[in-house]
Structure 1
Amino acid sequence: MFATVENRSRIPSGPRLQYHRDWLADALDTHLIMAPRVIRFRPDPRAKERLRSAMAPRGTIVRLARLADRILIVVAVPGEGAASASLRRRLAAKWGTRNVLVVTEAWLLREPRLEVISAAVACLEQIPSVTDWLRIERHLLELGGSACLEECVAQVRQHEDPAGAVLALVVAGWLRIEVSRPLSGSSVISLPVRRDRGRLVVGG
């Protein structure tokens, strides 16, 4: 069974990030919450046994991520993960599936991306009113789909934490945020782009 999705975000039910066991698990869960294609996720109760038999490095973390069309097994490996390709093959054999993704500690902790998405996840409960959301969406559409965080914050008038409200929309998947630079008022906020009948459509 997968945990229920709450607050329009992709997070296990119960206490926030209840499955965190250490910093590597924290980083992995933060990335999964922000991943647009991940609906929800949970630990694998048989992970220890499979990791041991596949000779995975000590401290390796596993999450079962529900996507729209399949279950993806996401494995976080401590260190640089020099042998991640061979580990993926062994784990795929143990799980009996090709849907295995191995990510390294170095990738998960890369900055400024981790700082930006961690700040957004901390605001996941700050969802703004529908009116404020419509103001933000209209502003972004008028500017071609993107604007700086400071401008988006200025559209929020019914929330005590306007910046948190905008970041909560990022966590919910309604907006995207630039992660290649440290979080600031100049960070680029944009509407998601989707493909409709062969055309790219902004928002909606």
Structure 2
Amino acid sequence: MISAIANSSRIPFKATPRLPSDWLAEALDTHLAIAPRVIDFRPVPSSRERLKSCMGPRGSIVRLARLADRILVVVAIPDEADTPPGFRRELARYWGTTNLLIVRESWLLREPRLEVISAVVACLDQIPSVTDWLRIERHLLELGGSSCLEECVAQVRQHEDPAGAVLALVAAGWLRIEVSRPLSGSSVISLPVRRDRGRLVVGG
């Protein structure tokens, strides 16, 4: 996926103070990085001017997300900002699309959702071998499509960080993870479900 997300496990020696908008941008990028339907996403260089033209709240962040069937304009708004009447309508008119998603800062920063997603994004470069992936997939299929993280980790034999390998598959969109509870060995890992000729199919 196209993003500029830093690995959260690499903490700098001296933290640099950031603007609130930086935190909002990082939270939005983190969510988009593992969103199942998002193929890639990118910032909009002229977003500040565009938002101003639409009476957009100050500090808002815009990303263009590419899905399989359309381009989605995603706007994150700070909690303290008031959304002016008609903002969505003006935004749609300015961008020439009704494919808009507006999210609040409180939703993006909500725990444990952000904690789990951040941990997953930090493992983007930990993809396991094909053999380990096939072991995990077979294990999940044998259990009807879902299992706990601890049992999935036990299927990894050729990676120095088994847990990171499983989370990397989540980051790549090959697996799903529950985000409603804190990350632990009992976190539910599942194969994606797709619709094929009117039927729901697990995996692949």
Residue 66 of structure 1 deviates from its aligned partner by 0.8
Partner of 1:7: none
Instruction: Tell me if 1:75 matches 2:66.
Output: no
1:58-85 residue CA offsets vs partner (Å, 9 max, x unmatched): 1100001111111111000000666377
Partner of 1:100: 100
Instruction: Tell me how far apart the structure 1 counterparts of residues 60 and 93 of structure 2 sit (CA, whole Å).
Output: 17
CA contact (8 A) 1:113 1:181 kept: yes
Instruction: Tell me if 1:198 matches 2:198.
Output: yes
Q: Is the partner of 2:26 in helix, strand or coil?
A: helix
Partner of 1:11: 2
What letter is aligned with 1:79?
D
TM-score for both structures, normalised by structure 2:
0.89
1:3-55 residue CA offsets vs partner (Å, 9 max, x unmatched): xxxxxxx233xx6459x971100000011111111111111122111111112
Structure 1 vs Structure 2 CA RMSD: 1.9
Instruction: Tell me how far apart the structure 1 counterparts of residues 105 and 37 of structure 2 sit (CA, whole Å).
Output: 21
Instruction: Tell me if 1:165 matches 2:165.
Output: yes
What letter is aligned with 1:164?
G
Instruction: Tell me how far apart the structure 2 counterparts of residues 196 and 115 of structure 1 sit (CA, whole Å).
Output: 33
Partner of 1:113: 113
Instruction: Tell me how far apart the structure 2 counterparts of residues 130 and 64 of structure 1 sit (CA, whole Å).
Output: 32
Instruction: Tell me how far apart the structure 2 counterparts of residues 23 and 201 of structure 1 sit (CA, whole Å).
Output: 37
Instruction: Tell me how far apart the structure 2 counterparts of residues 122 and 84 of structure 1 sit (CA, whole Å).
Output: 36
Partner of 1:29: 29
Instruction: Tell me how far apart the structure 1 counterparts of residues 150 and 179 of structure 2 sit (CA, whole Å).
Output: 16
Question: Structure 2, unaligned stretches of length 5 or more?
Answer: 8-17
CA contact (8 A) 2:56 2:83 kept: no
Question: Structure 1, unaligned stretches of length 5 or more?
Answer: 1-9
Residue 133 of structure 1 deviates from its aligned partner by 0.3
Residue 137 of structure 1 deviates from its aligned partner by 0.4
CA contact (8 A) 1:39 1:68 kept: yes
Q: Which moved more, 1:112-121 or 1:92-101?
A: 92-101
Report how many aligned residue pairs link the two structures. Answer: 192
1:171-198 residue CA offsets vs partner (Å, 9 max, x unmatched): 1000000111000000000000111111
Q: Is the partner of 2:86 in helix, strand or coil?
A: helix
Instruction: Tell me how far apart the structure 2 counterparts of residues 95 and 106 of structure 1 sit (CA, whole Å).
Output: 25
What letter is aligned with 2:40?
R
Instruction: Tell me how far apart the structure 1 counterparts of residues 109 and 34 of structure 2 sit (CA, whole Å).
Output: 14
CA contact (8 A) 1:120 1:168 kept: yes
Instruction: Tell me how far apart the structure 2 counterparts of residues 151 and 85 of structure 1 sit (CA, whole Å).
Output: 50
Partner of 1:174: 174
Change over 3 Å in CA distance of 1:80–1:196 after alignment to 2: farther
TM-score for both structures, normalised by structure 1:
0.89
